[in-house]
Amino acid sequence: MVSAVLRPAARQIPTSLLSAASERRRIVALTSQRRADWARFVGDQPEATVFHTLAWHDAVAESFPHEDIYLMAYEGDRVAGVLPMFLVNSMFTGRMLVSLPYAVGGGIVAENAGTTEALFEEARRIAARRRCGTIDLRSARASLPQLPVVERYAGFERELPESSEEVLAWLPRKARAAARNARTKFGLATLAGDEHLHEVWRLYSLSMRRLGSLAYSYAFFRALAKHTPDAHWTSIVQWNGRTVAGLFTLLFRERVMPYFVGTTNLAKRCSAANFIYLATMERAVAEGYRVFDFGRSRRDNAGSFDFKRLHGFEPRPLEYQTWVADDRPMPSLTPSNTRFAPARKVFRHLPLPLTRFIGARVANHIPA
């Protein structure tokens, strides 16, 4: 099993911030009456991500059996911090509080260190009451100095050029050549629209079986599309009339994040993956987006790491933090866990309908 590398979080909480505000701070649960307050706070915070929005909450709550535990810190009548979590009952690790499942981001967003600490302490109290052994916080920046940083993942993002005509030249040489050949030599073309959502999911589930990994249900794709009506793109790539790649992309502020991708066995021959990312980058620039967020990759996943670096993206450490009760071992639900190796080997050879059925159910227990 590949274990996570742990290092201490660097920042310390100034004690001066823990006094005056704490006397009038209260931690409450998200309710329907407080949704507007949540949305307003997340919308104003630069460190908030698309995963902190209520659209992600609603899509996960609608698609999975997890209980939502969304905490809000008020200072007087004003929201000063939020901590979105779902309680996951995993047959592999037991009960977990995860911020956030199926997301590359999450964790506490707060105006000051005192509010951050107060939200975490409330999460620990809930974990004790609900017998959760783990609190998983997927923050890009560590905010709790008492917890180690889990150095398992890196993120990849890059500022886009000024015009869509510059995107091809902006790519490194090898990626540029592959994308150019896809367009000029193979004549690939993109189609966009939610009418292609099922096709994107079909290709995604095919790719996940090829990798020996679980695919999420089509219900999750539908829910994400429904709850982000103006904040996602659905696109496919065709070669001689045949669909060879598909991509579901999330949009948040100035950021474009390709999130679910799928390809056929023909895709490598015509560089369809290179082309769909090129087309998405060009569309992003044309529509005024400034940052292309290539998501995260595990440090031990050389294929994903190398593909993103080939496109000129350099890894930046993601400072995830995990609290574990009673000195338990750090849980590992990643595909690199040797515990899953025999199942993954068999999974690649199962019929596609069966892998979809298994994936949709086992994903309830692995909040990757």
CB contact at 8 A, 147 and 9: yes
Same domain, 160 and 143: no
Per-residue pLDDT tens digits for 199-248: 999 999 999 999 888 999 999 999 999 999 999 999 999 999 999 999 99
Residue spans of alpha helices (H) in the chain: 35-44, 54-63, 113-129, 167-170, 173-184, 197-211, 218-227, 272-286, 302-310, 341-347, 352-362
Same domain, 159 and 264: yes
pLDDT of residue 139: 94
Q: What is the mean pLDDT of residues 22-46?
A: 93
Question: Is 33 domain-assigned?
Answer: yes
Residues facing 320 on adjacent strands: 150
For the cut 60, the answer to whether the pLDDT of residue 76 exceeds it is yes
Per-residue pLDDT tens digits for 110-155: 999 999 999 999 999 999 999 999 999 999 999 999 999 988 899 9
Question: Is 22 domain-assigned?
Answer: yes
∠ Cα 341 294 236 (to 5°): 90
Q: What is the mean pLDDT of residues 330-345?
A: 67
Of the candidates 90, 120, 147, which is a domain's last residue? 147
pLDDT of residue 337: 59
Same domain, 235 and 198: yes
Check which CATH number belongs to the domain holding 198 and give it. Answer: 3.40.630.30
Same domain, 70 and 197: no
Residues in the chain: 368
Same domain, 129 and 32: yes
CA separation (Å) from 200 to 23, 220, 345, 346? 51, 13, 24, 24
Per-residue pLDDT tens digits for 80-96: 999 999 999 998 888 99
Same domain, 178 and 86: no
Residue 97 sits at φ, ψ, to 5 deg, of -100, 120
Same domain, 276 and 311: yes
Confidence class for position 347, pLDDT limits 50, 70, 90? confident
DSSP assignment, residue 111?
Answer: S
Same domain, 243 and 169: yes
CB contact at 8 A, 123 and 29: no
Q: What is the mean pLDDT of residues 49-71?
A: 97
Question: Is 368 domain-assigned?
Answer: no
Please give the tally of structural domains in the chain. Answer: 2
Question: Is 366 domain-assigned?
Answer: no
pTM score of the predicted model: 0.89
Residue span of the structural domain in which 17 resides: 13-147
Same domain, 119 and 175: no
For the cut 60, the answer to whether the pLDDT of residue 272 exceeds it is yes
At 208, is the secondary structure helix, strand, or coil? helix
Question: Is 6 domain-assigned?
Answer: no
16-46 exposure pattern, b = at least 16 Cβ within 10 A, e = fewer:
ebeeebeeebebeebeeebeebbeebbeebe
Amino acid occupying residue 189: A
Question: Is 224 domain-assigned?
Answer: yes
Same domain, 231 and 111: no
The two three-digit tokens of residue 321, written as one number: 């933090």
Of the candidates 83, 117, 147, which is a domain's last residue? 147
Question: Is 361 domain-assigned?
Answer: no
